[in-house]
Amino acid sequence: LTRRLGLPQPAPLRRWSLDTPRLEGPLLHLTAGSGAGAGADTGARARAQAGAGARASAGADVGAVAGTAAGLAEVLAGVGLPVVGRADRPGAVVLDATGVTTAAGLGDVHAALHPVVRSLAPGGRIVVLGTVPSPDDHHQAAAQQALEGFVRSLGKEIGRGSTVQLVRLPGVRAPGAPAPDVQVPDVRVPDVRVPDVPASGIRLPGGGATAQGAASTLRFLLSPRSAYVSGQVIELTDATPEPVTDPAAPLAGRTALVTGAARGIGAAVASVLARDGARVIALDVPGVREELERTAARLGATPLPLDITAPDAADRIAAAAPDGLGVLVHNAGITRDRRLANMPAERWTSVIEVNLDSVLRTTDELLKAGTIRRGGRIVATASIAGIAGNNGQTNYAASKAGIIGLVRSLGPRAAADHGVTVNAVAPGFIETKMTAAVPFFIREAGRRMNSLSQGGLPVDVAEAVAWFAQPDSTAVNGQVLRVCGQSLLGA
C-alpha cells in the first residue's frame, strides 16, 4: 500500500545477528584539525609511526601522537573491521576531529569526508571524534560545537540506512603540554602504506587511557547493534573502564533486573541482557503474571511479579537479588493521554507515580542499601516525548523529561559515591503492539518522521541498554541516548 501511495521505501537496516555480527567493509580512519592538512590521513600516519616503534622522546607533540595513536589504533582494531587509510567502499569511517580548534580548521572536516561520503557502503557508519567545547577558549568552543551541527545535518542527508554520530572525548592535551612517559606497543596496520611524517603539529586526544574509555562506545556505534541510532552526541568522561573478561558474554556474573519486562521493549531488553550473559530478574505487575512467567521461562530468567509503585518495592527487589544487582533497568511505564484541559488529577498522578516517582524512590533506596554493587549500571527509559513534547501527553512528557533530569543530576554523584553509572535511552517510534493499533496514516507519518524513514524495533532500544550496561562503559555516564532514527522532533 505504501508503494501504491508513492511513499519512499526505507533502506533495510542491518541489525546484529549471529549471521551479521559486524558491518560490511573496512574501517577508514581519518584525521582533521591541527597539522592534518587538507584531508590528510594523519591518523593513519600516526598509527604507522606507532607500528614502526615510535617512542615519546622528542617532545610533547610526539608523546601525544605515540600515546594516543597506539591507544586509538588498538581500540579501532578491537571493533572487528580491518582498519585502513584508504578504501573505495568503506563500511565505516572514524574522523578524529579533536584537533579542530578554529573556524578555518573546519575546512579539514569537509576535505576529509567530502571525497568518501558517497562511497560509504549502504548501512555504513560515520563517527566523528570531538572534544568538549572549552569555556576558556571561544574559538575552540565554536569549532567543536560546529561539529554537532555538522553531524546532525549529515545524518539527515546521508541516506541508505547509514548513520552519523559525534563522540566527545575528554582530556585533549594542547601542544606544548608535558608528554607522558609511554611505551608504544607494536601495532600492525594492514593496507596502509604511508611515508614518514613529522610528528609536530599533530594533535590527538589526551592519551591511551582516553582512547580506551571510548572502546565500548566505538564498538557499539561501529556495529549493527546501533542500527536505529543516528545524529546523536555522546560525551564521555575520563573514568577508567572495567575490563571485560569474555567479549561474547560481557555481563557474565552480573545480575540484571528489568522492570516492565513481560512484553515489548522490556522483554527485548531482558532478552539481550540474557544473551550477553547476565542473570536476569524480570519484573512486571501481578496483572500480567502469566505473560511475565512465559517471557522469563523463554529467557531462563527469574520472574518477579511486583507493582513497582508499592512502598516495599525496593525491599522486595533486594530480597530477589541477595548478591546485589549489577544492572538495574527502569523500563516500566504507562500512558494516560488527554489534553490538560480535560485531564483529571488521577490520570496525571498515576503517570507521574509509575514513570517517575517510582524510579526516583527505588533508585534512592537501592543505592542507599548497597543493593546496586560498585561498578553497577542504572539505565532508565525516557522518551522522545520528554524532549519534544507531544499533544495530549503533558503528563507523560513531564514524567519522561523528569527521567532526563534524574540522569543528568545523579550520574556524576552516583559514580563518585557508589561507583555506579546512570544513563537513559529515549525511544522514538518503536514498532510494538500499541503502535500497530494506531490508524494507518498517523502510523505511517510517525514511522517516516526520522532520517531513516522507518520505525525502530524493541531490540534497537535493548541494544542501547546493553551498551550502557557493559562493564567497560564506565566512561559513559549521565547520558541520554535517543533511539529514534534521528527523529525530526526535538533537538
Q: Name the residues annotated as catalytic.
A: 396
Please report how the helices 394-418 and 358-369 are oriented relative to each other, as an axis angle in degrees rounded to 10.
10
CB atoms within 10 A of CB 221: 25
Element spanning 51, H or E:
helix 42-51
Rounded Cα gap, residues 277 and 386, in angstroms: 32
- 3-class secondary-structure state, position 393: coil
Going by their DSSP bridges, the two strands 255-259 and 125-131 should be labelled as unpaired
| Contacts of residue 293, Cβ cutoff 8 Å, sequence gap at least 6 | 303
Contact 202, 56 (CB under 8 A): no
* 367 bridge partner residues: none
Cell numbers standing for residue 286: 501481578
How far is the CA of 14 from the CAs of 117, 219, 220, 268, in angstroms? 19, 15, 13, 17
Residue with cell 541516506: 159
**Which amino acid is located at 269 in the chain?**
V
The β-bridge partners of 377 are: 327, 421
Closest CA to 95 of 122, 114, 119: 114
Quick one: cell of 438?
A: 494506531
Cβ-count burial 80-92 (b if 16+ within 10 Å, e if not)? ebbbbbebeebbb
For residue 466, give the 3-state DSSP assignment: helix
Cell of 154: 549529515
Residue pair 34/99 in contact by the 8 Å Cβ criterion: yes
Go through the chain and tell me how many residues it has.
491
Number of H helices, E strands in the chain: 16, 13
